[in-house]
């Protein structure tokens, strides 16, 4: 496929990731497993294994399996608020993973240093201008600028604002953008604005290589953008990272859980750290219920608002081919307007 325009405009992102095309498949717990990650890499993109809170041995096995399925670069996404986080960081450093992506919350300077000392390039999420500056100071090699339109753990600022506050102002490191993106035409405009590349998650969640349950995929393909809602925080004493997911019984259950935990905090029967762990355990457990068991009513259906643009289950190669063709076509259309 002729991607001359895309190649010319995305050199920084392609060279940083070591891939043919600067499209990242975002890490999704229970979804971004070896088959999907390898398929993205083999199609010329960049896949990320989702460590979630899996046992150390299981993560090691998934890393080895991905290496067997593909010789292309890939990253491992570590959830900084997961109970297994420290063991995961030690493991990826020991195994010489070339790319480490910190997610969930924000890593300490020392944790970024551990990954870099092991030879990894570090990508950090940024959901505000101040976080972007802090992650660069801490040593991040690249940023994933993610708007609140994204699925899973999200910030409170839209991508359109972050583009103006960060992408247009910061040039210290490559900046990849994410949140609400599902089409090649949109990818083209992100590249034209200066993004080094684009991350998509929801689009790949329904790929044929995705291990997600058929009922999970079917619910995604039926959903509208407005169905993907972010969870509220009821009290500052129990800080929770907002989670965007399809509205269902799990959304109600999470609200009830917060009220229960706040009551226990008031009575002194639970520490703040224990309460936050309970929150993460809830999402990790309910996510498995949805993705693996196919319970779309009581499981956590983490999805970005781009779910409204997802209408078919396609092979990863087909998704990539469509993205590339539409990106290149739009880049050429815009170029012709200026000539």
Enumerate the CATH 3.20.20.70 domain ranges in the chain, comma separated.
Answer: 4-212+310-337
> Residue 275 has what pLDDT?
87
What does the block give as tokens for 205? 């969640």
Region class of 160: left (phi > 0), else alpha (psi between -120 and 50), else beta:
alpha
Question: What is the Cα Rg of the chain in Å?
Answer: 19
Largest CA distance in the chain: 69
DSSP string for residues in 177-238 = EESS--SHHHHHHHHHTT-SEEEE-HHHHTSTT----HHHHHHHHH--GGGEEEPP---TTS
Name the helix (H) or strand (E) containing 35.
Answer: helix 34-42
Q: Cβ distance 326 to 6 under 8 Å?
A: no
| Helix, coil or strand: residue 92 | helix
- What is the DSSP pairing of strand 23-25 with strand 197-200? parallel
What is the spatial distance between Cα 88 and Cα 80, in angstroms, rounded to a whole number? 10
3-state secondary structure of 315: coil
CATH of 4-212+310-337, one of 3.50.50.60, 3.20.20.70, 1.20.210.10, 3.90.190.20: 3.20.20.70
Tell how far CA 114 is from the center of its chain. Answer: 22
Task: Render the burial of 27-42: b for 16+ CB within 10 Å, e for the rest.
Answer: bbbbbbbbbbbbbbbb
Kindly report whether the global pTM for this prediction surpasses the value 0.85.
yes
First CA to last CA distance, the chain: 24
Pick the closest to residue 299 from 3, 31, 20, 21 (CA basis): 31
Tell me how far apart the alpha carbons of residues 173 and 66 are, in angstroms, rounded to a whole number: 27
**Whole-number pLDDT of residue 235:** 86
Pairing label, strands 142-146, 121-126: parallel
Question: Tens of pLDDT along the chain (339 residues)?
Answer: 799 999 999 999 999 999 999 999 999 999 999 999 999 999 999 999 999 989 999 999 999 999 999 999 999 999 998 889 999 999 999 999 999 999 988 999 999 999 999 999 999 999 999 999 999 999 999 999 999 999 998 999 999 999 999 999 999 999 999 999 999 999 999 999 999 999 999 999 999 999 999 999 999 999 999 999 998 888 888 888 888 999 999 999 999 999 999 999 999 998 888 888 888 788 878 999 999 999 999 999 999 999 999 999 999 999 999 999 999 999 999 999 987
Strands 121-126 and 99-103: parallel
Nearest to 196 by CA among 309, 46, 71, 75: 46
Spatial contact of 166 and 144, defined as CB atoms under 8 Å apart? no
């Amino acid at each position: 496929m002729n991607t001359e325009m895309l190649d010319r405009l995305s050199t920084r992102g392609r060279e940083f990731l070591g891939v043919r095309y600067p499209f990242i498949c975002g890490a999704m717990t229970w979804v971004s497993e070896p088959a999907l990650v390898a398929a993205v890499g083999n199609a010329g993109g960049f896949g990320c294994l989702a460590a979630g809170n899996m046992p150390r041995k299981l993560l090691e096995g998934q890393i080895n399996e991905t290496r067997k399925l593909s010789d292309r670069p890939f990253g491992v996404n570590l959830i900084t608020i997961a109970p297994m986080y420290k063991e995961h960081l030690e493991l990826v450093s020991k195994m010489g993973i070339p790319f480490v992506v910190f997610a969930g919350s924000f890593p300490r300077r020392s944790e970024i240093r551990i990954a870099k000392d092991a030879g990894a390039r570090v990508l950090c999420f940024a959901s505000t201008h101040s976080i972007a500056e802090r992650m660069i100071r801490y040593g991040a090699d690249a940023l994933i600028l993610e708007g609140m339109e994204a699925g899973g753990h999200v910030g409170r600022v839209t991508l359109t604002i972050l583009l103006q506050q960060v992408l247009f102002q910061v040039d210290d490191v490559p900046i990849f953008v994410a949140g609400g993106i599902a089409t090649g035409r949109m990818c083209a405009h992100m590249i034209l604005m200066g993004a080094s590349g684009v991350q998509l998650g929801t689009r790949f969640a329904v790929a044929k290589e995705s291990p997600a349950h058929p009922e999970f995929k079917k619910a995604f393909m039926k959903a509208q953008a407005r169905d993907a809602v972010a969870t509220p925080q009821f009290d500052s004493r129990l800080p929770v990272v907002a989670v965007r997911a399809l509205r269902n019984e799990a959304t109600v259950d999470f609200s009830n859980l917060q009220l229960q935990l706040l009551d226990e905090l008031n009575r002194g029967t639970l520490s703040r750290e224990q309460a936050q762990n309970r929150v993460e355990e809830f999402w990790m457990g309910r996510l498995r219920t949805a993705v693996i068991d196919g319970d779309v009513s009581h499981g956590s259906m983490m999805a970005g608002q781009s779910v409204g643009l997802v209408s078919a289950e396609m092979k990863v190669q087909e998704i990539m081919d469509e993205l590339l063709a539409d990106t290149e076509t739009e880049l050429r259309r815009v170029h012709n307007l200026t000539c």
